[in-house]
A = this chain, B = another copy of it.
Amino acid sequence: ISIRGYTQMRYNGILDSSSYNDTYAYGDRSVGPRQNFFLRRARLIFSGDISDHLYLYTQFDLASSPSGTFSSSASNIGYAAPNFWGFYNQQIGSYNLNAGNFAQMRDAYADISIDDKKEFRFRVGQSKIPYGFTNMQSSQNRLTLDRPDAINTAQKDERDLGIFFYYTPEHMRHLFRDLVKNNLKGTGDYGMFAFGAYNGQGANRVELNKGVHLVARLTYPYVFANGQVVEASVQGYTGRFVPATSGIRPSLGMGTNWAGYIPNQFPWANSKGYNSPFATSSYLPFVNGPGYNNLYNNFNVANYNDTTVNFAAACVNGCNGLKDERVAVTGVIYPQPFGVFAEWNWGQGPSLDPYQFTIKSSKLNGGYVLVTYKYEDKDFGLGTFFPYVQWQQYRGGAKTETNAPVDRVNELEAGIEWQPLPEIELTAAYAHMNRTNLALAPYRQWQGDLLRMQLQWNY
C-alpha cells in the first residue's frame, strides 16, 4: 500500500462585488465575505494492488469540517447587547470558533477485476460517479480552481456509494494512464463503457429513499497518427433524490438582485393571529413528491389518547424523492499543445419554485468550454505553463444544497497554471462571476470580479 496525496491552499481576493455579503461560489467556501487564506483540500491516498484481482483505493481529506464547525456565518442575529449602553451601532450576531479540519472519507473502494487482463472490473464502495469529464478528472490535475456548476451539481463531491462495472480494452487503459502521466489533464481510467447503481444522495450522505440511481457512460478516445488525442463521451443518469430542507420565509425574486421581495398583499407578509398558518414567519418548503404513507401502519391510533406523539420518523410526502436525471455530452482535444475541453448537460432535478414554497423536479441545463495551451519552457527551465480561458453557464436547481434553490451561473475565468517543478503548481486566475448565493435565503444573485490564487503541492 503506497501513500500519496496533495494539498491546495487558496486566496480569493474580491475585487468588486454587487453585494459583498452575498459573495458565494458553489465550489469554494473561501469565496465569501471576510475570508483570507484557506485550505481547500489536504488529501492522503492509500492505494495499491493487493492481489492480481484486487486493487485498493482509500482517500481522505484533512480539510473537511463536520456540521456545526468552521462556519463564518453569524448566529444569534439580532440577539445583541442592549444599545443604550452607549454603543451607537448594534452588533449583528455572534460567531463561534468551533474547530474544523477533520479527516473525511473521499474514496473507499476496491476494484475487483474478473479477467487476467483487468479489462472487466467491478468497483465497489464509495467512488466517483462516471458522469462528466470534469467530475472524474482529479482536482490535482484540473486547471480551473473549481469544477463548473453545470456538471458538478449532478453529484455532491462527485462520489457516491454503490457498485459500478467498467470495461476498458487493455490498450485504452494504457492510454488513459498516459494522458494523466504525461500532464495532459486526463481523467484516468473510468472505462470505455461504464454502468453503475448507487444510493444517489451524495458522497458521505445517508440514504433517505431506498431507491438507487443508475448511471451509464460511453467514451471513445481516438489517437491520430501524429499522436494527437481527442475524446468524445456521452453519459446519463436517472434516479430520485430527497432534498434537505430547513425553514425559510418565502419571498419572491430568487436568483435575481431583488430576491427577498414580499408584497404587502401576500398572505405571509404579516401574521394573521395565533391560529393562522402564517403566525410564524418561516416554513419548510414542501417536497412535492411521493412518500411512504405509513405513519400509523401496524398501529391502532384509537387506543392511544394522544396522537401528537410521534412514534417513528415517517414521511407521508416527499421522501420517495424527486425525479433527478440528466444526460451530458463531452468533447475533449488534449493539450498537445492546444487543448479544448467542452461539456454540456440537460435534464431535470429538484428545484425550489419561485414562490419558495415547494420543491419539485424542474428542467435544468448548462455546460462549459475551456481552452488552454500547454507551454513547456525549455530555454530558461521555468517549467510548464497552462494559460487558459473558461466560460460556463448553468440554470437549474442545486439539489445538493438545503432547500434546493435555483442556481443561475454565468462565469468567465482567465488564468494560468504554472508548474515550476512537477510537485508544485501555482495558479492565478481572474474570474467574472454572476452567481446565486445558495447558502442563505432569499437566494440573491450577485455579480463580481475576483482575483483567485492557489498553491498546490503534490506528494
Q: Check if A174 is an interface residue, CB within 8 A of chain B.
A: no
Q: Check if A125 is an interface residue, CB within 8 A of chain B.
A: yes
How far apart are the CA atoms of A314 and B212 in the complex, in Å?
Answer: 41
Q: Using Cβ atoms and an 8 Å threshold, which residues of chain B touch A437?
A: 312
Q: A96-B244, A209-B34, A246-B94 are in contact. Are A316 and B284 (CB under 8 A)?
A: no
- Smallest Cβ distance from A48 to chain B, in angstroms? 8
Residues A56 and B440 in contact, CB atoms below 8 Å apart: no
Q: Check if A287 is an interface residue, CB within 8 A of chain B.
A: yes
How far apart are the CA atoms of A215 and B440 in the complex, in Å?
Answer: 36
Enumerate the 10 nearest inter-chain pairs by beta-carbon distance, A residue then B residue, closest first. A21-B312, A82-B277, A81-B286, A103-B103, A101-B105, A67-B98, A101-B204, A99-B204, A110-B457, A94-B245
Q: Check if A211 is an interface residue, CB within 8 A of chain B.
A: yes
24 cross-chain CB contacts under 8 A: A3-B46, A9-B125, A34-B210, A39-B125, A39-B161, A67-B68, A67-B98, A68-B68, A70-B204, A72-B208, A80-B283, A85-B286, A87-B358, A91-B318, A92-B310, A95-B242, A97-B156, A97-B205, A99-B104, A99-B203, A100-B204, A101-B126, A262-B309, A312-B437
Residues A304 and B125 in contact, CB atoms below 8 Å apart: no
Residues B262 and A91 in contact, CB atoms below 8 Å apart: no
- Smallest Cβ distance from A198 to chain B, in angstroms? 7
Q: Check if A303 is an interface residue, CB within 8 A of chain B.
A: yes
Q: Using Cβ atoms and an 8 Å threshold, which residues of chain B touch A4?
A: 1
Q: Using Cβ atoms and an 8 Å threshold, which residues of chain B touch A42?
A: 58, 105, 108, 125
Q: Check if A421 is an interface residue, CB within 8 A of chain B.
A: yes
Q: Which B residue's beta carbon lies closest to that of A443? A: B311
Q: Check if A387 is an interface residue, CB within 8 A of chain B.
A: no
Q: Check if A162 is an interface residue, CB within 8 A of chain B.
A: yes
Residues A36 and B459 in contact, CB atoms below 8 Å apart: no
Stretch among A133-141, A175-183, A292-300 lining the B interface: A292-300
Residues A62 and B101 in contact, CB atoms below 8 Å apart: no
Q: Check if A405 is an interface residue, CB within 8 A of chain B.
A: no
How far apart are the CA atoms of A71 and B203 in the complex, in Å?
Answer: 14
Residues A81 and B285 in contact, CB atoms below 8 Å apart: yes
Residues A108 and B39 in contact, CB atoms below 8 Å apart: yes
When the two chains form the complex, which single residue of B1, B80, B95, B314 contacts A92, counting CB atoms closer than 8 Å?
B314
Q: A244-B94, A306-B262 are in contact. Are A357 and B85 (CB under 8 A)?
A: yes
Q: A7-B125, A62-B58 are in contact. Are A319 and B34 (CB under 8 A)?
A: yes
Q: Check if A264 is an interface residue, CB within 8 A of chain B.
A: yes
Residues B126 and A39 in contact, CB atoms below 8 Å apart: yes
Q: Which B residue's beta carbon lies closest to that of A4? A: B1
Q: A67-B68, A303-B258 are in contact. Are A286 and B76 (CB under 8 A)?
A: no
Residues A261 and B304 in contact, CB atoms below 8 Å apart: yes
Q: A79-B247, A315-B91 are in contact. Are A66 and B98 (CB under 8 A)?
A: yes
Q: Check if A317 is an interface residue, CB within 8 A of chain B.
A: yes
How far apart are the CA atoms of A35 and B312 in the complex, in Å?
Answer: 15
Residues B36 and A212 in contact, CB atoms below 8 Å apart: yes
When the two chains form the complex, which single residue of B286, B312, B358 contacts A19, counting CB atoms closer than 8 Å?
B312
Q: Check if A226 is an interface residue, CB within 8 A of chain B.
A: no
Q: Using Cβ atoms and an 8 Å threshold, which residues of chain B touch A7?
A: 58, 108, 110, 125
Residues A315 and B102 in contact, CB atoms below 8 Å apart: no
Residues B306 and A269 in contact, CB atoms below 8 Å apart: yes
Q: Using Cβ atoms and an 8 Å threshold, which residues of chain B touch A249?
A: 309
Residues B92 and A315 in contact, CB atoms below 8 Å apart: yes
When the two chains form the complex, which single residue of B9, B124, B444 contacts A311, counting CB atoms closer than 8 Å?
B444
Q: Check if A419 is an interface residue, CB within 8 A of chain B.
A: no
How far apart are the CA atoms of A72 and B210 in the complex, in Å?
Answer: 11
Q: Check if A190 is an interface residue, CB within 8 A of chain B.
A: no
